[in-house]
Each structure stands twice: as structure tokens, then as C-alpha cells.
Structure 1
Amino acid sequence: MFVDTPKEARDPDVSAIAALDEPTRRRLYDHVVRQPGPVSRDEAAAALGLARKTAAFHLDRLADESLLDVIYERRSGRSGPGAGRPAKLYRRSTKQVAVSLPDRRYELAGRLLAQAVEESGATGAPVQEVLHRKAEELGTQLGGQDSPSLVDVLERYGFEPRRERDVIVLANCPFHALAREHTQTVCGMNLHLLHGVLHGLGEAGFTACLAPGPGRCCVRLEPVA
């Protein structure tokens, strides 16, 4: 089972994208990712006609934002005493940066759907049945992650909850584009995901119900009678 990145953890993505707004820093990032191997400060500075100190500052800022990885290598190929200090080198990070407004979670949906297809192929169980179970398992896991409240979890995963009397309406669907084209599949997945969230939180005061409407998620949370 996997856990999608919570909203609080996604805030650094905004910072990382903002870091690339600086022209020199963006040129250095583009240069490093185009190279077949790691790049030193001296090499980057020479390639872009920058002072070494300037290149070092911006490369380290990119590393601080996890856009570049830092490694240390001895370029001479020698080791042991007299081989000198390893050079500080930079290469593209494996981190993926994505910011979406409104919040979308297509990777989460894609993984659930892929898991369902693979398990269905291996066991012969209906895909929809597996998808609903996987979604509910994930929701239970998300709800059990030391979350202080139901609203906190819903906000963290992009549902934009708002109260309308006793009902919690979800103003945003994190799977919006998928839900428009594959409504039954995605809304069913979403329903079971939110069933799981309620279970994981031990929240007995609400139940997740399908209630499609324009401009909002197809699921809403209604008080238990």
C-alpha cells in the first residue's frame, strides 16, 4: 500500500518552483539536467560565464530545494592519501515537483486503478470490486495517520470541505478530469476512499454518500441518523 503526499508536504513544491523563477538559477538548472553526468561548480560557472561564487550559491539553493542532488567524487580517479578532497558535484534530483490549483491527485487515482487491474488479472476478481477494496484500504490508512480531525484530512487531500448545516460538502474533486470522463468508476472509487477515511479516523458521526452536483465532488458526508 502507498501513501500519497499530504498537502503540508506539497508546500515545498511551491517553494521549489518559485526558486526556478530566478533567471540565473533556472539557467543553471537547465544546464545541469542536460548533461550526461554530474556537474561541478567550476564546470557550471565556465559553461554559463558566471563567477564561481555565483554558480555555487545558486547550485546550492537548487540542492536545498531538492531540485538537484549533491554527490562527492574524486575526478582524478585516485584514492588514499594525497588524492585530494572529493569535488562537490550536482545532478538532477529524482524528486518530482507538481503544483495544481485546484488540488488534483491524479497519481493517487492512477495507482489505485493500476493496483486494481493487476490484482484482477492475477486473481480473476472483478476490477471494480478490487478497486473499491483498495480505495477503502487506502482511505483507512490516510485516516489513521495521526490526523487531528476529519476536516484536516479532507483539506490535506484537496477535497475543500465546507459545512452546509449538518452536512459536509466537498467543494473540490481531486480526480476532476477523470471523474468527468469515467464518472461511475471514479466516483465509486472516491466513495470507498472516503468510507475508509471515516473508518480510519474512527468517525462514527458521518457516513459518505453519493450526491453528485455541479461544481463539487460527487460524494458528501452526511450525519448518521
Structure 2
Amino acid sequence: MAEASTGRTLASASRLAILQLLRERAEPVGVQEVADATGLHPNTAREHLDRLVAARFVERTAERRGTPGRPRWRYALVRRPAAAGADELFRRAYLAAPPSWEPADPDARRQVAALELHLDDLGFDPELEPATETVHLRRCPYAALARERTELMCQVHLELVRDVLEVEGGPVTAERLEPFVGPQHCLLHLRGL
């Protein structure tokens, strides 16, 4: 059910535009700022933001005010390190990897674990291939929409991957996303493993 919900969340050009806007902003933004930047009515922008919050792409915080009344909500991309599950995911990935792959850099290990957790949560069925510095995304949960708007969808997903790697900090970077090397199979190219 979560996969379908996430797919529907990203199946909106308006929500993709909001995600791109939030990615470009260093500080959290309010509903009116989102509405002004995207051309949406504030109520529509708020509904889209609520959907993005529910899907865990965006987090909402109350603005601190010195006046009485309801606080305004501020929105930003979720940029927190993947925590508890990342260690277990890394352990499984490490044990499944060929014996020749053993990154010396603990930051790279942490980045890879967080990335695999993120991609798995979204339903991509990721499989790391360290020798070629690629991640096979065996199942694209957004394949139908991505076929219609490949460049936009794949760019949004690539930027989300870059954000995950950046938040974790370390040598691994995402270079490009190669869409549809198979029916629902995409290839993520990394550097720095």
C-alpha cells in the first residue's frame, strides 16, 4: 500500500514542481511562498504539501512567532540521515556482496546503506554492483508515469538520490540515472565506491 501511495504522490506535476522548489531552497518555506513560486492557489499548494508530508518526502515545522495565534507551517525536504535500519541494511548488503568489495571508507559504507534503504523504501528493489559502481533498480514503481515524462521523473529521482548521499556525507556521488535498460529496470551510476 505504501508503494502505491508513494507512486500516486509523485504522479503529480505540481508535487514534482514543489519538490524541486524545496530542493532549491536552503530554508523551509511557507504555503504562500510555495503558491507564489508554483502558480498554485494557496489551498491547493497546502493540499500538495500535506500529501508530500504524508509520503515522508517533506517535513513540516511550526514557525516561531512572537504574536498570539496559530503558528504558520514551514516546509522543507526531509534531509535526515537514515538511522536505525541503515546499519542492518548495510550488514545484509555487505554479506551479500562479493568478497572483493570492501570499501575502506566507513563514510562510503554508511552512504551506500542509506541509499539502498531509501531506494528499497520507495520500492525500487535496488541491487548494488560495486565492480561497476552501479545500482540496478530492478522495479520502477513509477514506470507508467516515467515512460510519459522520463526526463522529469528521472531527474527528480536522481536529485533525491544525490540528497541522500549528500546528507550522509562521504565520497560516493550519483553521476547519472540511465532509464529503462529493461522493461522496469533502470541503472543508477555512482562514483567513489
If the length of structure 1 is used for normalisation, what is the TM-score?
0.40
Considering only CA atoms, is the larger Rg found in Structure 1 or Structure 2?
Answer: 1
Larger proportion of strand? 2
